[in-house]
Amino acid sequence: MITRCSSLLTAGVCLLLQTATASAETVLANGLRNTGLGFVNLAVIPPQWVLPYGYWSPSDHAILETSGLTSLGLEGVEVHLGHAQGGAYFYAWAEAQPGYIMSGLSFGSVDGLTGQYLGAIAGRRENEWGTFTAWVDFSPLSLGPYRYRFYSYGGFYREVVSWERQLNFNQAYYAPRVNPCALGTNGQLIAVIDFQNSYAEVHLEDESMSMLVTRLEISPAHRHRPIDFATSVQVRGGGGLNLFVLSQVEPFAFGFPHHIVGGGTARLEVEPRRAHLSREPDSGNMFLGAWTETPASVSTKLQLEPLLAETNDVQLKLEGIGYGTFGEGNYVGQALLTLRTNSASLWGRLDICTNQQAVVLRQGVEVGFTPFTTNPATLEIEAPVGLREVSVLAHTTNTLAALRFVLDRVAPVTLPDGRQFDGDEVRVRAGAAATLEFVRRAGLTASNLASVTILNELIVPSQTPALTIEPVGQALHISWPDPNRVYHLQSSTADMNNEWHDVPDQPLLTNAIATVIVPKHANENVFFRLIIGMGWDRAPGRD
């Protein structure tokens, strides 16, 4: 195990790595195994209702509560992720009390070696008015500067590359939720601080700057060895903190082709163009699932061996992750189809917009829809049906972003407004042009089923924007449409089979058009192309 730490977190992280002994308590939550670190109490709160900050509110995920913490901050929980491309959000469940501390350490596979320490994020509440100090450590992967990407309600706001490892922020109402291990494009490690639909004033010390943001993504600014997958996250708390909770565990990020969710609850058999998942013996009704990581695609479709209700309340959940206005790891949303022996229902919502629609189609033609807002919508299917196909759709000129279920027969479907239509397809769809530029991962999880078989995956790749090259004097103005700063420009000389290198000049964005100005090359042919990556301001290097 790598134990190298940065100067800011050396003592704390290395101490945590040396005291990672687990208690005997292990519980299952959201399909994952969770083991206590130290003598803590673990409790699972069902997903129907939770009590964050003293108010009852609905939740889509079970909440894992960890209590019995001491002042040292060494106790907590380890979440076993299987082979994952994402971690879990955690947040403090406490009154406004100064001094409490939390930390999140992530572990995974790098260069084929599992159990490697990847990085850490830690924080302390400084006062009762909601002032926090946070530190990040990516030293096992990169000793260079860090990239800070700031988001507001309007989407991406600003990007800063800095050597600063410490930041301060003020959030008066809620403690932020933090994901220490959200993997980005090409295996890059990202730590996410989400201010839960409220603004926070963030201050970077060496930049002498502050800004109001809703979300912050932190990652190494330079390329590092790609992470194969994440295996676990260790979360600890103390310093007067009574307990903390893990929420929004993100199985959507389990991204390797036909890979199971959670590990240890299902068996996976992969054949060409076919993947069969079945529960392991004595695993009860734990859900099982498969996720696929796709190239940038406008749609990712999973064709299934028709699924029928073996018992009442067979549940199949479809989720996706992509790239859009709010950056890498944009959660599309989730939809839950419940199959019964004589009927079915669909519950769903999207996270990429507030203006949504519940839609019924028949043989690919829309026959009815009703709008709804951020509250989940429920469609009732008044006949026994099976499921034969699911899709995650990005926004294109012809299609709105959506989660899509194709049934095995035509059946009467009742929309939330009470109208009924006969159809063989239902969707939870963005009612406006929500910016989901492409899909990167899509998957299906199921409960109360003995097995699920994916017969095929059909992926429609996205179209890379066309480059426009305009000679201006002794320079070339190279531009392309890129409203979300998704693409990087690379160049190559001699011929198209030569090595490609990042163009070091940073693009200027004007009216959603990115432009790079490069000098002309006399007596030499130079070729240019676009590749997908996370953010600009990358260090030059070979692809």
* Candidate ranges 319-328, 496-505, 518-527; pick with highest mean pLDDT: 518-527
Rounded CA-CA distance 353/374 in Å is: 8
Instruction: Examine the domain organization and report whether 297 and 387 are in the same domain.
Output: yes
pLDDT of residue 251: 36
| Average pLDDT over every residue of 387-392 | 91
Rounded CA-CA distance 104/92 in Å is: 12
Q: Is the pLDDT of residue 60 over 70?
A: no
Range 127-166 burial, b when 16+ CB lie within 10 A, else e: eeebbbebbbbbbbbbeebbbbbbbeeebbbebbbbeebe
Model confidence pTM above 0.75? no
Q: Is the pLDDT of residue 381 over 70?
A: yes
Q: Is the pLDDT of residue 147 over 50?
A: yes
- Lowest mean pLDDT: which of 34-38, 45-49, 137-141? 45-49
pLDDT of residue 257: 43
Terminus-to-terminus CA distance in the chain, angstroms?
A: 28
Instruction: Examine the domain organization and report whether 20 and 38 are in the same domain.
Output: yes
Instruction: Examine the domain organization and report whether 347 and 385 are in the same domain.
Output: yes
Tokens representing 476? 């070339």
What is the layout of strands, in order, in the sheet containing 200-204? Answer: 22-29, 32-37, 75-84, 227-238, 101-110, 113-125, 131-137, 166-170, 200-204, 209-213
Q: Tens digits of per-residue pLDDT, 293-327?
A: 666 778 888 878 888 876 678 888 888 888 765 55
Domain assignment present for 29: yes
- The angle subtended at Cα 200 by Cα 73 and Cα 91, nearest 5°, is 30
Q: Provide the pLDDT confidence category of residue 494 given band limits of 50, 70 and 90.
A: low
Surface-to-core class of residue 375, CB atoms within 10 Å of its CB (0-12 exposed, 13-18 middle, 19+ buried): exposed
Domain count, the chain: 3
Instruction: Examine the domain organization and report whether 225 and 281 are in the same domain.
Output: no
Domain assignment present for 499: yes
Q: Which residue has the higher pLDDT, 384 or 258?
A: 384
**Residue from 108, 104, 101, 76 nearest 88 by CA:** 104
Residue 411 parent element (H or E): strand 402-414
Range 511-531 burial, b when 16+ CB lie within 10 A, else e: eeebbbebeeeeeeeeebebe
Domain assignment present for 541: no
Residue with tokens 């190298």: 4
Instruction: Examine the domain organization and report whether 167 and 295 are in the same domain.
Output: no
| Average pLDDT over every residue of 7-33 | 56
Q: Provide the pLDDT confidence category of residue 52 given band limits of 50, 70 and 90.
A: very low
Final residue of a structural domain among 408, 432, 461? 461
Strands (E), 240-343: 243-247, 259-260, 266-271, 274-279, 288-307, 314-324, 327-339
pLDDT of residue 55: 36
Rounded CA-CA distance 112/96 in Å is: 43
| Average pLDDT over every residue of 354-380 | 89
The answer for residues whose C-beta is within 8 angstroms of residue 22's C-beta and 6 or more apart is: 35, 36, 37, 78
Torsions phi, psi for 16 (to 5 deg):
-65, -40
Q: What is the DSSP letter of 466?
A: P
What is the layout of strands, in order, in the sheet containing 501-502? Answer: 501-502, 487-493, 526-532
Domain assignment present for 4: no
Final residue of a structural domain among 426, 461, 496? 461
Domain assignment present for 543: no
Range 254-285 burial, b when 16+ CB lie within 10 A, else e: bbbebbbbbbebbeeeeeeeebbbbbeeeeee
**Amino acid (1-letter code) at residue 540:** P
Domain assignment present for 540: no
Q: Is the pLDDT of residue 21 over 60?
A: no
| Average pLDDT over every residue of 444-466 | 76
Q: Is the pLDDT of residue 328 over 60?
A: no
Instruction: Examine the domain organization and report whether 442 and 309 are in the same domain.
Output: yes
Question: What DSSP assignment string belongs to 334-390?
Answer: EEEEEE-SS-EEEEEEESS-S-EEEEEEETTEEEEEEEE-SS-EEEEE-S---EEEE
Domain assignment present for 100: yes
Residue 502 parent element (H or E): strand 501-502
Instruction: Examine the domain organization and report whether 219 and 297 are in the same domain.
Output: no
Final residue of a structural domain among 461, 479, 512? 461
3-state secondary structure of 116: strand
pLDDT of residue 310: 67
Rounded CA-CA distance 76/65 in Å is: 10
CB-based contact 425:248 (threshold 8 Å): no
Instruction: Examine the domain organization and report whether 220 and 136 are in the same domain.
Output: yes
The answer for residues whose C-beta is within 8 angstroms of residue 30's C-beta and 6 or more apart is: 61, 62, 64, 249, 251
Instruction: Examine the domain organization and report whether 193 and 296 are in the same domain.
Output: no
Rounded CA-CA distance 426/337 in Å is: 10
Q: Is the pLDDT of residue 338 over 50?
A: yes
Q: Is the pLDDT of residue 75 over 70?
A: yes
Q: Which residue has the higher pLDDT, 330 or 231?
A: 231
Domain assignment present for 259: no
The answer for residues whose C-beta is within 8 angstroms of residue 511's C-beta and 6 or more apart is: none
Tokens representing 205? 């010390």
| Average pLDDT over every residue of 241-263 | 52
User: How many residues are given for the chain?
Assistant: 543
Residue 12 parent element (H or E): helix 10-18
Instruction: Examine the domain organization and report whether 97 and 167 are in the same domain.
Output: yes
Q: Provide the pLDDT confidence category of residue 71 given band limits of 50, 70 and 90.
A: confident
Rounded CA-CA distance 47/43 in Å is: 13
What range does the domain containing 239 cover?
Answer: 10-249
Instruction: Examine the domain organization and report whether 200 and 293 are in the same domain.
Output: no
Tokens representing 362? 């028949």
Q: Is the pLDDT of residue 195 over 50?
A: yes
Rounded CA-CA distance 118/537 in Å is: 22
Instruction: Examine the domain organization and report whether 288 and 377 are in the same domain.
Output: yes
CB-based contact 314:447 (threshold 8 Å): yes
Surface-to-core class of residue 541, CB atoms within 10 Å of its CB (0-12 exposed, 13-18 middle, 19+ buried): exposed
Q: Tens digits of per-residue pLDDT, 90-135?
A: 777 665 578 888 899 999 888 888 889 999 999 888 887 778 899 9
| Average pLDDT over every residue of 438-447 | 79
- The angle subtended at Cα 287 by Cα 282 and Cα 291, nearest 5°, is 125
Q: Which residues pair with 453 in a beta bridge?
A: 276
